[in-house]
A and B are shown apart, each in its own frame.
Chain A
Amino acid sequence: MAEDMSIESYLAAGGVLTNPTNVSARYRAELMKLMTTFVDSELAGAAGFADVINAGPGIKERIAAAKIVLEKTDNADKVLKIMGEFGVDGDRYANHHPWTARLARDADIGASRTEQDMRLAVFNYPLQGWADAVVMNLLMGRAVAVQMAEFSMVSYQPLAEAFRAIAPVEARHAELAEEGVAKLAEAGDNSALQASVDYWWPRVAASFGSGESAKADSLKAMGLRKTPNAELKTRWEAETKAVLDKLGLQAK
C-alpha cells in the first residue's frame, strides 16, 4: 500500500487531520490563529452583550440576551477544549484578557486587530443600548452563519465537528436578533434602528477580511479555507439585505 504520501499533498487533496500529532508546525500555527480568533471573538462578544442584558425592555428580551451570553461563552469553551489538546491552559486563557474592553465608538481601526487579542475588529466597538446591541447581533449573527458554513469544512476534524455543533446555536442567535429587531421596528423606532444599521454594516462587513489575502492560497492548500473572503462577504450582504428589507431597514 502506498503509505508515503506527505501530509501536505494529503491536505491539498482534501484530507482530514484528526489529532495534534498529525499537524505540522505551520498548520498548527494557522489552526491556532483560527481557533483564537473564534474564541476571542466569542468571549469578547459575550462579554459585551452581558452588559446589555439589563437594558432589555422586557423579561423575554432579557432571557434571550442572557441565553446568547451563556451560549456564546459555551461555544468559546468548545473550541478552547480543542486548543487544550495543543497544550493551552484553557482556564488561564479564558482569564488572560479583559474581554469587556472596548475602544471608542468612533475609533477607526478598519479590519485590524488590537495588539492584545485576536477578536475580530468589529468586537472592539462598544454597544450603545438595547436597540444598537440587537442590530449588531443581527448583522454579526448573519455573518457568523456564513463563516460557520465555511469553517464547518476545515481540515482539522475535531474543529470541524465543533463548528458543526456550534453553527445551529449561532444561527438561533441571529434569529433571536431578527425577532428582537422586528419587535423594535413594530414599536416604530426605525430611525434609531437605521442609525445602528448604518453604524454596524461597514464594521461587520470588514470582519470578512480583505478581498485578496496573500495567505489565501496556503490556507486553501492546508484545507483551512475553501471560499475567498470576498465571496463570503457577498453572500452575507445578499442574505442580510433581504432580512433588513423585510424589517423595513436598509443597508448602505
Chain B
Amino acid sequence: MREPITRILRGSALALILLFFLFPILWILLMSFQTNADILRIPPRLGFTPTLSNYVALLSGKLATSSGTLDITFLRNLGNSLLLSVASVAASLVLGVPAAYAFARYRFRLGESIAFTLLSFRFAPPLLVLLPLSLYFQILGLTDTYGGLIWVYQLITLPLILWIVRGYFEDASPDIEHAYRVDGHSWWRTFTRIAVPLARPGIAAAGLLAFIFAWNNFVFALVLASADKQPVTVGALAFVTAAGIQYGQIAAAIVLSILPTLALALYAQRWLVEGLSLGAVKG
C-alpha cells in the first residue's frame, strides 16, 4: 500500500521541482513565439496566436522597429560564439590534458606553484586584466583578431580543464600505466592509450564545463574586438534599443543560443554521468 503512495509523492515532488527549474525556460520559449504586443499585454495571457516572426527576423537579419528596419547580426554573433568556444576548448584540451597529466603524475620544481598560478587566472576579475591586456594586444597586433580572443579565452577554459582533469588522472591508479610501460611502450603511447581513455569521462565533463563558461563570456570580446567578432552574449543586447526592447527577438535569440550547449550536453551526457559516478564511488 505504501509503495504506490511513495511513488506518487515522489513523482509529484519531481514534477514540482522540474516545473520550478524549467518554468523560466518554458516561458522564454513561449515568448519567442509571441509578438511584443502579446508579451507586454496587461495582464499577461497564456493564450496567444503563435508567430515565427521573431525567428524570421533573426534568420533574415532584418528587425522591424517603431523607428524603421534595423540590420541585426545575430547569426554572425552565433557563429562567433561557436568559433570562439570550440576553438578555445580545443586549444585548452590540447594544452591542458598533457599538463594535467604532468601535474598529476610527476613531482617537479615549482610544479604546484605553476598549477596554482594557472588556477589563479580564474580568481582575477576580468576587468582588472583587460585594460593592460588591450595595451599588449595593440603592441602585438592581436587587437580585434579571433586568434587574440581565443588566446584570452584560455584564461577561462585552460585552468578549468587542467584542474578537473588533473583530479581524474590522480584518481586513476598508475599501476596500469606502469604495466604498459614494462611491456615496452613509450611514455607518449602510455599517455594516449591508457591514461587519456581512463580519464575520458573527466575530460568530457571538463570540456563541456569549459565550453559553457566560454559560451557565456561577455566582456573579453566586448573590450578586445570589433562588433563583427562579438559573441551572442553581446549580440543579444542589440534588441534593447533606445526606441524599445524587442522581447520576442530576445527570447528567440536565447532559444537559439542555448541550442548548441544543450545539444552538446545531451551528447556528452553519457560520459558526464559516467564521470560523475566514477568520482562518487571512488573510495
Question: Are A and B genuine complex partners?
Answer: no
Q: Could you tell me which B residues sit within 8 Å of A by CB distance?
A: none
Q: Could you tell me which A residues sit within 8 Å of B by CB distance?
A: none
